[in-house]
Amino acid sequence: MTPIRFARRAAGPFRCIAQSCAVALALCHALPAHAQTFDPARADIDAFIAGVGKKHGFDAESLVALFAQVESKPAILQAIAKPAERTLAWDEYRPKFLIERRIARGAEVHGLKQAELERSQAASGVPVDILLGIVGVETFYGENIGKYRVIDALSTLAFDYPPRQAFFRGELEQYLVMAREEGLDPLAPVGSYAGAMGLPQFMPSSFRNFAVDGDADGKRDLWNDWADVFSSVGNYLKVHGWRAGEPVLAAADASNANLAGLSDKLALTETVGSLRARGVKFETSLPANAPAMLVALKVAAGTEYRVGFTNFYAITRYNRSHMYASAVSDLADAIGTARSGMPLPVGGGPVAPAPTKPPAPSSGWSTTTSGT
């Protein structure tokens, strides 16, 4: 899950994005080109150790010994300066995820882990294809879980990236507690440059709050245990408002609609009825009073419109991006189609369909694991 895009200040669960390229580059220039271990005697680290030790009962000497083995990684500061979802248009972003190999792998994982998926769906109300869509977008079903030690990532951003230090010091604190609770060596887990962990890319606070032991083996393992992975994603969406049996979004035609004063925030500021009253055309079985938002996705030819419902909003709590939630929904649909043996849809909306040219190889590109 996803911390913040820099334009979205509220702390989200998972990924994190830079304050600005200029800030990040300036920081990079001020720091060594190669990783260096932290000095636990550094004033801010010493204060962090003292505070966390007192608050959670950690032995200070153990924390000093731990942080003497933690490295500040310049590559992490470079990675956080590349907020892909702010620089790509929808018709560039979507093909990164809607590639045939990802869709096929999603269908394959369904076959391999059907029991785990269906148990997670039963517990959360989240359809199996949405669970597969999230894990497919996040890490390509575990192919791109990230290459950094989580403690290096969190510490680099907590101590060497001032724009987000408060958020990452909080996550670092959560991580230390999580490692103790889960019986993990804090130096062992790997994740994204922002410290997002495992197949679903949970940040430590989200792990502690929302991860689920799906197979009741006494451990929450988001790196290896598919039952835990899918149950945790389902639980996260359920807690954030998922409504079983309801749609995520509908394609919309807003070409003759009155959009004056319409909010572009990630919020359910409209209803099915209010959008129809504005002249937005879309099909849904939801009633007129159902919460909704107009989703405007920039493409080369203009804007592709969709109407997002409560479940669209729930996906944006996982990652605060219209494009992310749209890609998860499209990938879920494509996996469902692939599973049923039907030809894959062309996709896209009424204004600008998805490009028909072959998408670029994914090469590990991921919103949460830049640099992998």
Binding-site ranges for Ca ion (CB under 5 A)? 213, 215, 217, 219, 225, 228
Closest Cα to residue 155, out of 146, 147, 164? 164
How crowded is residue 197: how many other Cβ atoms within 10 Å of its Cβ?
27
Residue number, 63 or 131, with CB nearest to Ca ion: 131
User: Quick one: which of 52, 84, 81 has its CA closest to 66?
Assistant: 52
Does the active-site annotation cover 181?
no
Is the Cβ of residue 44 or residue 217 nearer to Ca ion in the bound state? 217
Which one, 100 or 217, has the nearer CB to Ca ion?
A: 217
Q: Which is nearer to Ca ion, 21 or 123 (CB)?
A: 123
Eight-state DSSP code of residue 169: H
Contact 295, 93 (CB under 8 A): no
Read off the tokens for 304: 């592709």
Instruction: Report the nearest approach of Ca ion to the CB of residue 372 (Å).
Output: 25
Strand partners, 253: 281
Q: Which is nearer to Ca ion, 61 or 181 (CB)?
A: 181
Q: What letter does residue 80 receive in the DSSP assignment?
A: T
Tokens, residue 80: 């956080």
361 exposed, middle or buried (CB, 10 Å; 0-12, 13-18, 19+)? exposed
Phi, psi (rounded to 5 degrees) for 82: -120, 75
Tokens at 246, concatenated: 């309801």
Residue 59 or residue 217: which is nearer to Ca ion going by CB? 217
Q: Which residues pair with 191 in a beta bridge?
A: 148, 197
Strands (E), the chain: 36-37, 71-72, 148-149, 190-191, 249-253, 270-271, 281-282, 291-299, 302-308
C-alpha–C-alpha distance, residues 240 and 173, integer Å = 23
Q: How far is the CB of 218 from Ca ion (least distance, A)?
A: 7
Of 85, 138, 173, 304, the catalytic one is: 138
Closest C-alpha to 135, from 172, 154, 108: 108
**Which residue, among 77, 59, 96, has the nearest Cα to 18 in the 3D structure?**
77
Q: Which residues are catalytic?
A: 138
